[in-house]
């Protein structure tokens, strides 16, 4: 009888402690890793969308370890990718990250049973007080640059149907309306048959930029930014991805992390489409890496 009474009391006390400010502070994990990413200064125009440029071969590379994301549901149990090779360069106006990793398959199709490869670079909005590297917090947001193979493929003009159903036959498809000019008839077809395209829904293939800028205040508050300044491109070759993600060091956008102060922090995430990686099911760094921006 005593156990039946004591157990609920202990449970209530534990829940009350867990909700106190002291407990909340302990739940937050701001982990700074010993590794450092140095962005080398180089004057002139940078190859912001050429991941195979010889420029990258002359830059020092950092091996960045990845672990499964095991905090937010749906979690990832086994990592498909265990490390990234990262290089960085800046010209005082733009900063670029060259990210390379092993991946046996090039995944860019989006269907119910297929997912896309991808990689992301994350910065704290306040470099002097970085938040939990796992998507920040409401008072300490983060700025995320997300590259997806599916977005790039859609931007290149290959239709969703051609990618996923190459042997199909159709006498008419609104997804492949002829001509590049938006004639009145074409505009009517788009509006009536493709309402998501007409409304500019950012998840429609070909609508979202190749590198998407995201502002996040925890896992549950993730916003696609109105101003999209980032650039990038990925190339898959011989079982490896080579991706460039670049952004201005400073913009007037309050949702962009400032990088013109010479130092900040950075973290990375990666998705393997063939392993059904999507959303929180991803590989991440264990914490923040110091970012030193050369001048």
pLDDT in tens, 215-260: 998 888 888 888 999 999 999 999 999 999 999 999 999 999 999 9
CB 208 within 8 A of CB 202: yes
Those residues whose C-beta lies under 8 Å from the C-beta of residue 1, and which sit 6 or more positions away, are none
What is the arithmetic mean of pLDDT over 49-61? 89
DSSP string, 197-210: HHTT-TTSTTTS-S
Q: What is the pLDDT of residue 125?
A: 95
The stretch 27-34 carries a mean pLDDT of 81
**pLDDT, tens digit (0-9, with 9 covering 90-100), for 122-171:** 999 999 889 988 888 888 999 999 999 988 988 887 666 777 777 877 76
Percent residues over pLDDT 70 in the chain: 82
* Spatial contact of 83 and 286, defined as CB atoms under 8 Å apart: no
Length of the chain: 295
Distance from C-alpha of 230 to C-alpha of 209, rounded to nearest angstrom: 9
Q: Which domains does the chain have, with CATH numbers?
A: 28-157+209-293 (2.60.40.1190), 170-205 (no CATH)
pLDDT at 110: 72
pLDDT of 177 over the 60 cut: no
Q: What is the C-alpha to C-alpha distance for residues 98 and 269, in angstroms, rounded to an integer? A: 14
Residue 169 corresponds to which tokens in the numbers above? 């036959």
145 versus 5: which is more confidently predicted?
145
Which residue(s) pair with 263 in the sheet?
A: 292
* Band of pLDDT at residue 58, cut at 50, 70 and 90: confident
pTM: 0.82
* Cβ–Cβ < 8 Å for 264, 257: yes
Q: Tell me: the pLDDT tens digits for 14-29?
A: 344 334 443 333 356 7
pLDDT for 3 beyond 80 = no
What's the rounded Cα separation, in Å, for the pair 76 and 53?
Answer: 34
């Amino acid at each position: 009888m005593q156990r039946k009474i004591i157990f609920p009391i202990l449970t209530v006390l534990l829940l009350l402690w867990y909700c106190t400010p002291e407990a909340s502070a302990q739940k937050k994990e701001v982990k700074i890793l010993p590794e450092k990413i140095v962005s080398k200064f180089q004057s002139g125009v940078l190859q912001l969308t050429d991941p195979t440029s010889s420029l990258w071969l002359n830059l020092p590379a950092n091996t960045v370890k990845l672990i499964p994301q095991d905090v937010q549901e749906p979690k990832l149990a086994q990592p498909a990718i265990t490390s990234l090779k990262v290089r960085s360069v800046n010209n005082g106006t733009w900063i670029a990250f060259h990210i390379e990793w092993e991946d046996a398959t090039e995944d860019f199709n989006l269907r119910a049973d297929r997912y896309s490869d991808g990689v992301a670079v994350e910065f704290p909005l306040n470099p002097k007080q970085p938040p939990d590297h796992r998507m920040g917090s409401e008072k300490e947001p983060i700025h995320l640059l997300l590259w997806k193979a599916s977005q790039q493929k859609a931007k290149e003009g290959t239709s969703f149907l051609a990618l996923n159903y190459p042997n199909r036959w159709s006498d008419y498809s609104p997804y492949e309306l002829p001509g590049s000019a938006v004639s009145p008839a074409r505009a009517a077809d788009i509006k009536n048959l493709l309402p998501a395209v007409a409304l500019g829904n950012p998840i429609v293939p070909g609508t979202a930029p190749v590198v998407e800028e995201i502002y996040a205040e925890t896992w549950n508050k993730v916003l696609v930014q109105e101003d999209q300044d980032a650039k990038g491109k990925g190339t898959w070759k011989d079982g490896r991805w080579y991706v460039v993600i670049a952004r201005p060091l400073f913009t007037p956008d309050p949702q962009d992390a400032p990088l013109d102060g010479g130092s900040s922090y950075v973290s990375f995430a990666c998705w393997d489409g063939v392993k059904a990686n999507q959303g929180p099911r991803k590989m991440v760094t264990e914490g923040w890496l110091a970012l030193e921006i050369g001048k």
